[in-house]
Amino acid sequence: MFLPGDIFLNDYDIFAAKVVKFVMKYPTIWHFLFGRLFGWRPDPVVFYHAGIILNKNAVVEQQWKVRIASVQRQILDKPSIVFRNTKLTEKERNRIAREALKHIGRKYDWVLILGKLFTWLTGFVWLQRWIQLPRREICCSLVAKVYWDAVGETFGKESWHDVTTDDIDDYCRSKGGWRIVYISPSIMAGMVC
């Protein structure tokens, strides 16, 4: 069902996830204020967390530190979607998996969260590129960095630090060559794909 290099996104129903999804929904506070003043409504943000599939049984994800987790626990037991880049060769898929494994054990980048917050407050995108710790990532920037290093995928951004879980979702849905290979029933019931 799943191949190395597939990307999974999933959702949680906790307060922190709702805050992060709100910030992803409005790229800056200015977008939020514009929406409030003029009734503009951005697309909904469905997913909070991102990771990379290693094989049919295991994924790599950032949860306080980068770790290997089970497909069952991280995808099949949660509201999830899995995207596959159909243009990748088997060699490229395996390169993505190997690149993801290089990050195992790396800690969470709390400083990047501050950089993203300052970017959200000011609109200055470069803040999230400079306010971060080297060799540390958050879940979405880990996926973006691995893809960036392994196959040159940018997800339409200038830096992997700029990528959010919602950017990955939007990019994979709109860009040719990507397809949904799995979507959980709870997500399917709540949205149109």
Q: How far apart are CA 123 and CA 16, in angstroms?
A: 22
DSSP secondary structure string for all residues of 123-188: --THHHHHSS-TT-B-HHHHHHHHHHHHH---TTSSSGGG--HHHHHHHHHHSTTEEEEEE-HHHH
Q: How many helices (H) and strands (E) does the chain have?
A: 9, 6
Count the Cβ atoms, other than its own, within 10 Å of residue 151. 17
- Give the tens place of pLDDT for each residue, 159-190: 888 899 999 999 999 998 999 999 998 887 76
Residue 29 lies in a domain: yes
CATH number where 93 lies: 3.90.1720
- Give the tens place of pLDDT for each residue, 20-79: 898 888 888 888 888 888 888 888 899 999 999 999 999 999 988 999 999 999 999 999
Find the domain containing 69 and state its range.
7-188
Residue 168 lies in a domain: yes
Residue 1 lies in a domain: no
Q: In this structure, what DSSP letter does residue 137 have? A: B
pTM, two decimal places: 0.89
The number of folded domains in the chain is 1
Residue 2 lies in a domain: no
